[in-house]
């Protein structure tokens, strides 16, 4: 936006408007993220009848779409639930016995927030998460792939 306003109205207006628009956009994204967290976070420690081991916001890459939603680890599975504002809203449930490996990755080859789940079938599932090292540790311990 700053570039657009600079071309239309000059440097001072462009830089000022660009900063203001960037601040407003960042604030809107932060509010949306907090709204989604409050809507999806399970505060009672139970997910579909199972105890929650670890949970948090995530994106799941599925058929060309980075679907936003919530990732939950229970004693028996890894479950992704879309927040409903995606084109593809299918649930993902992966039994922990299906896991072959869990690997932290770089999203777009740059950002250290990726999580790749490798299944014994050879299938790969990719997520973007916060605290990816904690996710890896929790999933490896829960699945028995990593003994403490």
Q: pLDDT digits over 96-135, tens only?
A: 999 999 999 998 889 999 999 999 999 999 999 999 999 9
Residue-level pLDDT at 77:
95
Residue-level pLDDT at 124:
95
Measured between its terminal Cα atoms, the distance across the chain in Å is 51
Low-confidence ranges of the chain (pLDDT < 70): 37-44, 84-88, 147-148
Token pair in block for residue 17: 């408007």
Nearest partner of 144 among 89, 102, 88, judged by Cα: 102
Residue-level pLDDT at 148:
45
| Bridge partners of residue 67, in order along the sequence | 60
Residue-level pLDDT at 12:
85
Token pair in block for residue 16: 């000022």
Residue-level pLDDT at 40:
66
Residue-level pLDDT at 85:
66
Residue-level pLDDT at 41:
66
């Amino acid at each position: 936006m700053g570039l657009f306003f600079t071309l239309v109205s000059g440097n001072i207006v462009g830089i000022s408007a660009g900063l203001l628009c960037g601040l407003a956009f960042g604030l809107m994204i932060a509010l949306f993220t907090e709204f989604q967290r409050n809507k999806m976070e399970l505060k009672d420690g139970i997910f579909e009848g199972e105890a929650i081991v670890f949970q948090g916001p995530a994106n799941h890459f599925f058929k060309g779409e980075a679907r936003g939603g919530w990732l939950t680890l229970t004693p028996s599975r890894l479950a992704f639930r879309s927040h409903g504002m995606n084109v593809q809203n299918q649930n993902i449930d992966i039994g922990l016995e299906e896991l072959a490996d869990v690997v932290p990755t770089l999203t777009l080859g740059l950002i250290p927030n990726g999580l790749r789940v490798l299944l014994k079938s050879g299938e790969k599932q990719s997520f973007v998460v916060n605290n990816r090292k904690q996710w890896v540790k929790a999933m490896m311990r829960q699945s028995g792939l990593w003994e403490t």
